[in-house]
């Protein structure tokens, strides 16, 4: 490994972590959504700083080509984030639907109240 | 507040609310409402305008229905939830769902109400002898499979489980106001699963169906196959979900 690739690994990990933390700071990202990104960024930084960890981890789980472990872990993280997003989307759809139902019922109630007030006056 | 009992002459239909989910049905809905209100004087009819872009709301209101308008389209399930919640808030005991396209003949309503005396949920079934209605191909297989499994679950013979002509008694109204499924096919298939598992009693009566007043039913075999697939999925997901418990009367009033 050349010094250039070493620096590339470290800097991209730092950049990812930097973006996630900055978004958290500006409240553009909520903690529970950031957990996976923080985890992935920290892992990338560790492996970037100490490349030997990767070889050790790969031999530990029996992966012959260490790079494949990176691909596997990244895909797993993306997969989990994606499932989390689907779940959140379902949650939001349910909430929107209940709001729509409530809005329709309240609109109807307002109209009925207005009608009965007009009748009285 | 204007409710089910506002000092008129008592009628056998007091306490019964007709709920019609309507999506872009400006041509049919007015006549269907007028027919229902004319056939059963004193009955109340709530049209839930499911985010229509046409004059559905205005037509229904002009025909004498109470109209609730959803801000956007939620599907039949979402529209029916509005109906059940309205019924619960205003003290209606029974809810009868009728399609706003004129497919359901309101002469079936008294038979449904009568059956509510002994059952919590009554389906108006198309294939139980009355009326002219036939289906073929994958759509028919889907219906046979659904009725087989759901009959077993409900402990009674149900031949037309996807019927949108149905009556809910007080217990069913309470259950559905909180737990009516809003997904596609959930309003018919999953609602039966939920009701059976909350130990509500289900029954069916034969009703006549008319050809739709507007539009045409689809006979596309490809669409029918997709329908079969979605029906199977809806049913099995419904069976996988944990059963819901009938909310107590105190918690909903």
Is residue B217 a part of any domain in this protein? yes
Picking from B2, B69, B71, the nearest residue to A112 by CB comes out as: B2
SS3 B247: coil
Q: Assess contact for B180 and B80: CB atoms under 8 A.
A: yes
DSSP letters, B7-70, are SS---TTTTEEEEEEESS-TTTHHHHHHHHHHHSTT-EEEEEE-S-SSSHHHHHHHTT-EEEE-
Is residue B240 a part of any domain in this protein? yes
Question: What is the Cα–Cα distance from A114 to A116, expressed in whole angstroms?
Answer: 5
CATH number at residue B146: 3.90.550.10
Question: What is the Cα–Cα distance from B146 to B227, expressed in whole angstroms?
Answer: 12
What mean pLDDT, rounded, does chain A reach?
92
Q: Assess contact for B96 and B205: CB atoms under 8 A.
A: no
ipTM of the complex: 0.81
Chain segment B184-210, per-residue pLDDT in tens: 788 888 999 999 999 999 999 988 777
pLDDT of residue B219: 64
Quote the pTM value: 0.83
Domain with B49, as residue range(s), is 16-248
Q: Which residues of B touch A112 (CB under 8 A)?
A: 1-2
For chain B, which ranges sit under pLDDT 70?
Answer: 1-12, 127-136, 211-219, 250-253
Q: Which residue has the higher pLDDT, A56 or B209?
A: A56
Count of domains for chain B: 1
Residue B129 distance to chain A (closest CA, Å): 37
Chain segment A15-25, per-residue pLDDT in tens: 999 999 999 99
pLDDT of residue B101: 86
pLDDT of residue A121: 80
Residue B83 distance to chain A (closest CA, Å): 9
Residue closest to B76 by CA, chosen among B202, B188, B233: B188
Structural Rg of chain B based on CA atoms: 17
Domain ranges in chain A are 3-120
pLDDT of residue A41: 92
Residue B68 distance to chain A (closest CA, Å): 6
Question: What is the Cα–Cα distance from B114 to B99, expressed in whole angstroms?
Answer: 20
Degrees, nearest 5: CA angle B195-B201-B204: 100
Q: Which residues of B touch A108 (CB under 8 A)?
A: 66-69, 86
Chain segment A85-101, per-residue pLDDT in tens: 999 999 999 999 999 99
Write the DSSP symbol of residue B168: E
Q: B78 and A97: CB-CB below 8 Å?
A: yes
Q: Residue A32's CB: how many other CB atoms inside 10 A?
A: 9
Is residue B39 a part of any domain in this protein? yes
Question: What is the Cα–Cα distance from B201 to B153, expressed in whole angstroms?
Answer: 11
Q: A116 and B67: CB-CB below 8 Å?
A: no
Q: Which of residues 89-118 of A touch B (CB under 8 A)?
A: 97, 100-101, 103-105, 107-108, 112, 116
Is residue B239 a part of any domain in this protein? yes
Q: Is B207 on the interface with A (CB under 8 A)?
A: no
Among positive and negative, which fits the CA dihedral B184, A105, B124, B25? negative
């Amino acid at each position: 490994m050349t010094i250039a690739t070493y620096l590339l690994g470290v800097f991209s990990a730092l950049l990812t972590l930097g973006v996630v933390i900055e978004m958290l700071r500006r409240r553009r990202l909520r903690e529970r959504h950031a957990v996976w990104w923080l985890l992935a960024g920290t892992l990338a930084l560790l492996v970037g700083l100490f490349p030997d960890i990767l070889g050790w981890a790969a031999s530990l789980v029996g992966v012959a080509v260490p790079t494949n472990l990176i691909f596997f872990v990244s895909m797993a993280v993306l997969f989990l984030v994606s499932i989390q997003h689907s779940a959140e989307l379902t949650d939001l759809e349910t909430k929107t639907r209940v709001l729509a139902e409530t809005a329709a019922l309240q609109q109807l109630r307002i109209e009925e109240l207005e009608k009965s007030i007009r009748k009285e006056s | 507040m204007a409710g089910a009992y506002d000092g008129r002459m008592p009628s056998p239909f007091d306490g019964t609310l007709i709920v019609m989910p309507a999506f872009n049905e400006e041509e049919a809905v007015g006549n269907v409402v007028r027919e229902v209100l004319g056939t059963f004087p004193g009955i109340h009819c709530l049209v839930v305008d499911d985010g229509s872009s046409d004059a559905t709301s205005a037509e229904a209101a002009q025909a004498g229905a109470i109209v609730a308008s959803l801000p956007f389209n939620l599907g039949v399930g979402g529209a029916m939830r509005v109906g059940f919640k309205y019924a619960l808030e205003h003290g209606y005991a029974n809810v009868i769902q009728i399609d706003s396209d004129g497919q359901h003949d309101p002469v079936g309503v008294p038979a449904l109400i009568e059956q509510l005396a002994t059952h919590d949920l009554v389906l108006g079934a198309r294939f139980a002898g009355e009326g002219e209605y036939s289906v073929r191909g994958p759509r028919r297989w889907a219906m046979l499979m659904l009725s087989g499994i759901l009959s077993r679950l409900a402990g009674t013979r149900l031949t037309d489980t996807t019927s949108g002509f149905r009556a809910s008694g007080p217990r069913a109204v309470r259950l559905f106001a909180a737990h009516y499924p809003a997904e596609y096919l959930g309003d018919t298939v999953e609602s039966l699963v939920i009701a059976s598992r909350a130990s509500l009693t289900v029954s069916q009566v034969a009703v006549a169906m008319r050809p739709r007043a507007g539009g045409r039913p689809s006979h596309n075999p490809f669409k029918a196959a997709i329908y079969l697939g979605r029906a199977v999925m809806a049913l099995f997901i419904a069976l996988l979900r944990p059963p819901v418990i009938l909310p107590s009367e105190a918690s909903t009033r």
